[in-house]
Amino acid sequence: MAIQLAQGGATASSTFDPAAWLHDLVSIGGGYALASDKRLWLVVADCPADELTDVMAQVVGYPDRQDAVRFTIERRQNGDLA
């Protein structure tokens, strides 16, 4: 199963770390991809539901956090350490 994060929702606090969030997603068995149109896709089929809920709650409804995750992935794709 993959989830596409949509735009819209509340704003995030300044303490969100997108690199740590991506690490947390991968550590529970998830994955991610950034499409050429910059849509963010999260692969969550193999994630335990209780752990996935905790991770996803940090980005669902927070478009600025989603943008930060996109930017972090884009920097990694460009060879920057992010």
User: Whole-angstrom Cα distance, residue 24 to residue 58?
Assistant: 11
> Does residue 53 lie in a domain region?
yes
pLDDT of residue 11: 44
Is residue 82 domain-resident?
no
Distance of alpha carbon 74 from alpha carbon 64, whole angstroms: 15
Higher pLDDT, 63 or 78: 63
Report if residue 62 sits inside a domain. Answer: yes
The structural domain count of the chain equals 1
Q: Would the pLDDT of 6 be above 90?
A: no
Q: Could you tell me the residue range of the domain that residue 65 belongs to?
A: 2-77
Q: What is the pLDDT of residues 16-59, one digit of tens each?
A: 999 999 999 999 999 999 998 989 999 999 999 999 999 999 99
- Is residue 58 a part of any domain in this protein? yes
